[in-house]
Chain A
Amino acid sequence: MPSGPVNLERSTRLPAVFFGHGSPQNALGGNRYTDAWRDFGAQYRPRAILMISAHWYAAGTRVTASARPRTNHDFVSFKGPVSSFEYPAPGDVALARRVRELLAPIPVALDERWGYDHGAWNVLANAYPDADVPVVELSLDRTRPPQFHYDLAARLAPLRDEGVLIVGSGNVIHNIEIMRTDWGAEPAGWEQRFNDDLRARLECGDHAGLIAYERLGRDAQLAIPTPDHYLPFLSVLGLQRSDERPDVFVDGDRTGGLGMLSVAMR
């Protein structure tokens, strides 16, 4: 693990990282997950960030292409400071065009309307609190299967050598119904089993098994009732290179039904 900020003139490859983002309230920090995100951010100074967030789950592949993306408050159930939270990082239109170039011939729409959703800003507010690193968001295409997202991300790998930190933001376990029912409970047996199984597959490089999560049985069905929060994890898997190990730098669950595992490929 790098011990301090990476000097891009010396080492040009940045990690690919997945953050288990949890609630929008995490933007305000103050827990062991947000502390870990902050410590991660302190180690790297990218020229830009490409964010793949669970909360931009669109019918097609889109990329933000405005100079000043707005902060989206894309939730209704959280009041207080996060409902007016602002993350004023600039956009990077040139990076958006570079993403489109790398993904061709897959059609990629340049989107001037979408801003930073809470999957993006609640982790970046901790990892890069000064909001001075340009950010571009890439949507998930809800009409495409898991393998598509893994393969698509792999095509973005050159960006890691161009000073771009590629970030996936979601949750490997995300069952809102159970979270609401059993708020604050210890993780259930199925959740612990699924998390252990996922980590074992991650450690031994079983990407095929993780992509085909729908065939992993009932525990997986409970952990991933819809693909949106899991797909950014597959994107980061797709970016792992053969000389890299998955570094799980924080893991756990505060609420039941919400796995907070974060992992960096480095």
Chain B
Amino acid sequence: MTAWRAAVERGLEELERCFDDALDAALPNPVALIFSDLPLAYQGKRDLVFAMDLLNEGENECALIAGLVRDRLRDEPGSDVAHMTREAWYYLRTSIDPTWQFDAGEPSLPAALAYLAIVLRERPPAGERAALLGRLRSDAGTLTTRL
């Protein structure tokens, strides 16, 4: 497994834990329902998180595509997923700032996943989010493009 793919796998596992925590905090908790027993998996939890307005449209689309990237690479490890990475980044950027077109940097799926986890856990103010995503992209370094 490439370092890039391992980073995406780790990022999605962490994001799924964030989904669990966010849903645990937001959903009613009747005795008869043990939420963690429901066979929702990553995409089902993402759907619920979006339905509860804990992610906006662009964030949700990015999280959806990231899950599809993982599925595609698990099915066919050599698949071309560059177009999906760009698309996920586009949706995330436009969820923060519609002038995304003027951002000349490379898309980074590991940075996008880290960003979504922070958004769910810490709800940073809207005005700080573009800088946060930029920092995370810099931190991702060589993982910005697929290795």
Contact = CB atoms under 8 A, between A and B. Distances in A.
B90 A226 contact: yes
A255 interface: no
A143 B72 contact: yes
Contacts of A146: 83
Given A177-B94, A214-B82, A227-B83, A221 B101 contact: yes
Interface residues of B, number: 20
A110 B65 CA distance: 23
Interface in B111-137: none
Interface in A139-175: 142-143, 145-146, 175
B146 interface: no
Contacts, number: 39
A143 B101 contact: no
B100 interface: yes
Interface in B67-125: 68-69, 71-72, 79-84, 86-87, 90-91, 94, 98-101
Contacts of B79: 143
Contacts of B94: 177
A181 interface: yes
Nearest to B69: A143
A145 B83 contact: yes
B68 A142 contact: yes
A59 interface: yes
